């Protein structure tokens, strides 16, 4: 059991004999796609991230210009506009009126495409940012994972060349996150990740674990290939979905990807989907011969580690202290641990598989962790509690009302005198381990020696992806898969395959009142923050644009939950990005139980703001549901803002027939629904009226040189007196129940 968790190369020997001819037969590159592949090889190896190419969307070989700047920079915008205007002149004005630049564009079309392709070219002008540095760093990082990925793919009968797919998806960044919520090396959506057995919650996101995610990716690709019949279609389905590719095959009458790209009519099969296979081929050709393209790059050494599995809840600090490792080492080896665990001093959950440095044997780790005292570990999790800051609150009054110290509350939420609280902000309340509702296990004898104590960790078995498929997981994954489809493309029959589903293996507790502690002595370093009233941010900037807080904004989600008088159910309003599958997952009940409670059929859908009953077995279950629901939305926002910023807002007048899907998929600007709602709190998502003003947020990657739309400067705020202890007793924590 002391072996490093490292896949030996000999496991791959029987697969490395693939000839180039064999690879070409399963990954063909039709003549039509050759220019696309060359375009992406150019983007990956020749074009810096500080520049990009202005080109034709459908014919990438038609490159108009190479421009320094990002897609949202004035230089790029102006040049795109110039080229667009030139194309309109070419197609509408006599040649005698053309400029030299316009004649050059015309000649390029004649030599690289066809003059017939000029029709509609003005609408196809596109800018592609260079990715040379990103790809080079991805090559370096890939050395840490490639051997393990190849072994996992081989064990699932998936071609080894697909080990290069993360170059396209994530550049081998375990913490990578997409605009619409995909995460990890393999960019799984939350629902699909759960469908393949991954643990995904506010503390742990196994989509970010390279081994677990690769196992799921191998199963997904194998399943998709069996359904679609060819690897080009299976690979494209990784971006467009299995159902989307089946629809494309049915509409075109062909399973040839080149034919589909040229003839498939679909609003959701856009540039990213039609180019996904070409990107993969380009990336794999570069990676297989990386020394030709990047001669100075040396791949990083494969990661070696041992595994243990936690059998108690504990803090990361406790784990690191007794293992004798740094927090940084823990995080580097365990990217599945979300940053919030460290930032908010949360516990690591029971059953979590922990990667430890290879220098520490599993046996030695168990011996070290067996010395952890009972006071630093628990068989029961902390019960999460949250508080929504209201107008007039201050940190001292909140802490007093909640029965915690100011120091604990500030520490839990990383609050210093330079970081004041804001009205509407959600604070995590320091908590204690939840008490079991059943009879506790018999306590061991007081004479038990240290050697006889049960260890709080066990040697972990090799990581496996659970494939127990639940109704909730299927519903969540189906809903997410349908988000990429335009409304008219969503399958009518619920039993149509939208996602690849893995084959599965054979008394209420009264709420205790919170006591008010004695007066607390406040450290001088915290006095300024704890006694200052919560900031109130304006809803509208001077320019008329909506102003939103830079952190989690609870105001866009209606999270109230009202317990029924009989105590067996509770009523809520459906919020954005929620499904019955989510509610069932948070409650740990079948979706059918929720549907039955609401007299809903198996194919019935729910709408945002509609009322719904959920079954509640106890007060504890309800509190856990409320916390899980809140943390679900917080995690999505936190992950998004770790990678992206809203760099611009554009006013749009709603046109007749436009849907939410249209607003969230405006050209190349794909945004999540919650972000649209965040900037349009006045909109009823169920009632889009022509002529309504909508603010469309535009997203950029969160680079150091990117300016984010921060809340407007706060001026003329009436300072109120700090809330007294007497007033503090009237404040209510964020229970969301009566």
At 34-77, the pLDDT tens digits run 999 999 999 999 999 999 999 999 999 999 999 999 988 999 99
Instruction: Please state the pTM of the whole predicted model.
Output: 0.84
Query: How far is the C-alpha of 718 from the C-alpha of 312, rounded, in Å?
Result: 49
Residue 80 has pLDDT above 90, yes or no: yes
Nearest alpha carbon to residue 164 among 178, 149, 154 = 149
Q: Which of 54, 481, 55, 40 is nearest to 277 (CA)?
A: 40
What Rg do the C-alpha atoms of the chain give, in angstroms?
Answer: 28
How far is the CA of 123 from the CAs of 84, 85, 264, 649, in angstroms?
7, 10, 18, 22
185-189, 358-362, 502-506, 604-608 — which is least confidently predicted? 502-506
Residue 430 has pLDDT above 90, yes or no: no
SS3 annotation, 88-115: HHHHHCCHHHCCHHHHHHHHHHHHHCCH
Q: What is the mean pLDDT of residues 354-361?
A: 96
pLDDT band at 566 (very low <50, low <70, confident <90, very high): confident
* pLDDT tier for residue 402 given thresholds of 50, 70 and 90: confident
Q: Which of 9-18, 375-384, 391-400, 631-640 has the lowest mean pLDDT?
A: 9-18
Mean confidence (pLDDT) of the chain? 83
3-state secondary structure of 673: helix
Cα separation of 617 and 625, whole Å? 11
Q: How confident is the model at residue 536 (pLDDT cuts 50, 70, 90)?
A: confident
Residue 540 is classified by DSSP as: B
Structure tokens at 328: 């940084």
Tell me the three state secondary structure of residue 224.
helix
DSSP 718-733: PPPPPPPHHHHTT---
Q: Beta-strand (E) ranges in 334-418?
A: 353-357, 385-388
Whether 75 contacts 69, CB under 8 Å: yes
Cα torsion 10, 11, 17, 19: sign: negative
Q: What are phi and psi of 351, to 5 degrees?
A: 85, -5
* Residue at token pair 């205007």: 85
pLDDT band, very low/low/confident/very high, at 713 (cuts 50, 70, 90): very low
Q: Do residues 244 and 266 touch, judged by C-beta distance below 8 A? A: yes
Q: Mean per-residue pLDDT for 285-314? A: 95
Q: Which residue has the higher pLDDT, 448 or 672?
A: 672
Q: pLDDT at position 520, please?
A: 66
Per-residue pLDDT, averaged over 316-338, amounts to: 96
Tell me which of 738 and 523 has the higher pLDDT: 523
**C-alpha span between 236 and 276 (Å, rounded):** 6
User: What SS3 state is found at 684?
Assistant: coil
How many Å apart are CA 386 and CA 205, to the nearest integer? 21
Report CA dihedral (46, 49, 54, 57) to the nearest 10 degrees. Answer: 90
Residue 564's alpha-carbon distances to 412, 606, 615, 617, 619, in angstroms, are 33, 21, 10, 12, 11
Of 200-209, 454-463, 553-562, which gets the smallest average pLDDT?
A: 454-463
Give 496's pLDDT tier (boundaries 50, 70, 90).
Answer: low
Which residues, other chains included, contact 523 with Cβ-Cβ below 8 Å and sequence gap of 6+?
A: 407
Lowest mean pLDDT segment, chosen from 286-290, 406-410, 659-663: 406-410
CA quadruple 354, 166, 140, 19: dihedral positive or negative?
Answer: positive
As a whole-number percent, the residues of the chain with pLDDT over 70 amount to 81
DSSP3 helix / strand / coil % (the chain, rounded to 5): 40, 10, 45
For residue 485, give every residue at least 6 positions away whose Cβ sits within 8 Å of its Cβ, in sequence order, or none. Answer: 241, 243, 244, 268
Closest CA to 48 of 34, 68, 18: 68
Cα gap 693→658, rounded to integer Å: 13
Length of the chain: 738
Q: CB-based contacts of 306: which residues, under 8 Å, 6+ apart?
A: 2, 3, 4, 5, 355, 356, 357, 358, 360, 361, 362, 365
pLDDT on residue 383: 82
What domains can be seen in the chain, in order of their start residue?
12-31+132-293 (1.10.530.10), 50-129 (no CATH), 305-381 (no CATH), 554-701 (no CATH)
C-alpha to C-alpha distance for 638 and 276, rounded to whole angstroms: 27
**Residue 191 scores a pLDDT above 60:** yes
In a 3-state reduction of DSSP, which class is residue 399? helix
Contacts by 482-491, CB closer than 8 A, 24 or more apart: 483/180, 484/240, 484/241, 484/244, 484/268, 485/241, 485/243, 485/244, 485/268, 486/266, 486/267, 486/268, 486/661, 486/665, 487/659, 487/661, 488/267, 489/244, 489/247, 489/266, 489/267, 489/268, 491/243
Most confident option among 207-216, 503-512, 708-717: 207-216
pLDDT for the residue numbered 518: 53
Q: What is the pLDDT of residues 643-702, one digit of tens each?
A: 999 988 999 999 999 999 999 998 788 999 999 999 998 888 888 999 999 999 999 888
Whether residue 622 has pLDDT greater than 80: yes
Instruction: Give me 166's structure tokens.
Output: 């993360």
Beta carbons within 10 angstroms of residue 353's beta carbon = 22
Phi-psi region of 445 (alpha: psi -120 to 50; beta: other; left: phi over 0): beta
- Residue 421, classed as helix, strand or coil, is coil
Q: Which residues contact 405 (CB under 8 A, 6 or more apart)?
A: 399, 517, 520
């Amino acid at each position: 059991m002391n072996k490093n968790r490292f896949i030996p190369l000999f496991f791959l020997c029987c697969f490395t004999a693939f000839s180039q001819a064999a690879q070409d037969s399963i990954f063909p590159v039709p003549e039509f796609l050759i220019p696309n592949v060359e375009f992406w090889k150019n983007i990956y190896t020749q074009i810096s991230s500080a520049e990009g190419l202005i080109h034709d969307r459908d014919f990438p070989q038609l490159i108009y210009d190479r421009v320094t700047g990002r897609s949202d920079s004035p230089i790029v915008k102006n040049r795109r506009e110039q080229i667009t205007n030139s194309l309109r002149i070419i197609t509408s004005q006599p040649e005698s009126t053309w400029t030299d630049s316009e004649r050059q564009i015309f000649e390029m079309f004649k030599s690289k495409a066809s003059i017939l392709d000029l029709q509609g070219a003005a609408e196809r002008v596109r800018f592609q940012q260079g990715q040379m540095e990103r790809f080079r760093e991805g090559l370096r990082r890939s050395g840490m994972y490639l051997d393990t990925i190849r072994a996992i793919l081989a064990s699932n009968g998936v071609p080894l060349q697909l080990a290069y797919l993360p170059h396209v998806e994530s550049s081998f960044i375990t913490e990578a996150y997409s605009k619409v919520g995909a995460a990890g090396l393999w960019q799984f959506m939350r629902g699909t990740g759960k469908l393949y057995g991954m643990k995904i919650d506010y503390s742990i996101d196994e989509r970010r674990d390279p081994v677990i995610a690769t196992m799921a990716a191998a199963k997904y690709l194998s399943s998709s290939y069996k359904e679609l019949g060819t690897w080009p279609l299976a690979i494209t389905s990784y971006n467009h979905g299995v159902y989307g590719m089946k629809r494309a095959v049915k509409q075109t009458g062909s399973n040839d990807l080149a034919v589909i790209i040229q003839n498939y009519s679909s609003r959701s099969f856009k540039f990213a989907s039609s180019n996904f296979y070409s990107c993969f081929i380009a990336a794999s050709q570069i990676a297989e011969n990386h020394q030709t393209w990047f001669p100075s790059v040396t791949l990083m050494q494969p990661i070696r580690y041992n595994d243990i599995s936690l059998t108690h809840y504990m803090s990361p600090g406790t784990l690191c202290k007794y293992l004798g490792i740094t927090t940084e080492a823990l995080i580097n080896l365990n990217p599945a641990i979300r940053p919030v665990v460290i930032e908010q001093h949360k516990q690591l959950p029971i059953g979590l598989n922990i990667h430890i440095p290879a220098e520490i044997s599993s046996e030695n780790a168990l011996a070290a962790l067996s010395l952890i005292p009972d006071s630093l570990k628990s068989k029961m999790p902390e019960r999460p509690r949250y508080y929504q800051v209201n107008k007039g609150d201050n940190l001292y009054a909140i802490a007093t009302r909640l029965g915690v110290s100011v120091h604990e509350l500030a520490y839990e939420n990383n609050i210093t005198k330079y970081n004041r609280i804001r009205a509407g902000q959600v604070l995590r309340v320091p908590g204690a381990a939840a008490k079991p509702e059943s009879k506790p296990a018999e306590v061991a004898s007081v004479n038990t020696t240290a050697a006889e104590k049960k260890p709080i960790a066990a040697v972990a078995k090799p990581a496996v992806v659970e494939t127990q498929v639940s109704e909730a997981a299927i519903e969540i994954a189906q809903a997410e898969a349908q988000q990429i489809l335009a409304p008219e493309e969503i399958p009518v029959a619920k039993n149509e395959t939208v996602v690849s589903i893995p084959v599965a293996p054979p008394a209420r507790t009264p709420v205790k009142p919170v006591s008010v502690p004695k007066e607390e002595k406040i450290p001088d370093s915290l006095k300024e923050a704890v006694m200052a009233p919560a900031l109130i941010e304006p809803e509208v900037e001077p320019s008329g644009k909506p102003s939103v807080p830079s952190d989690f904004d609870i105001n866009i989600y209606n999270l109230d939950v009202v317990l029924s008088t009989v105590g067996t159910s509770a009523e809520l309003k459906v919020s954005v990005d929620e499904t019955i599958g989510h509610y069932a997952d948070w409650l740990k009940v079948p979706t059918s139980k929720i549907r039955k409670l609401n007299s809903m059929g198996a194919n019935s859908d729910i709408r945002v703001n509609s009322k719904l009953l959920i079954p509640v077995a106890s007060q504890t279950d309800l509190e856990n549901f409320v916390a899980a629901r809140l943390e679900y939305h917080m995690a999505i926002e936190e992950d998004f803002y770790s990678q992206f910023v809203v760099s611009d807002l554009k006013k749009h007048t709603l046109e007749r027939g436009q849907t939410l899907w249209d607003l969230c998929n405006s050209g190349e600007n794909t945004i999540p629904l919650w972000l649209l709602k965040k900037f349009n709190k006045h909109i009823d998502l169920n009632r889009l009226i022509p002529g309504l003003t909508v603010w469309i947020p535009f997203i950029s990657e969160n680079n150091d040189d990117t300016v984010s739309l921060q809340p407007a400067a706060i001026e003329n705020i009436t300072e109120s007196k700090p809330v007294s202890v007497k007033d503090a007793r009237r404040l209510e924590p964020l229970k969301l129940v009566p």
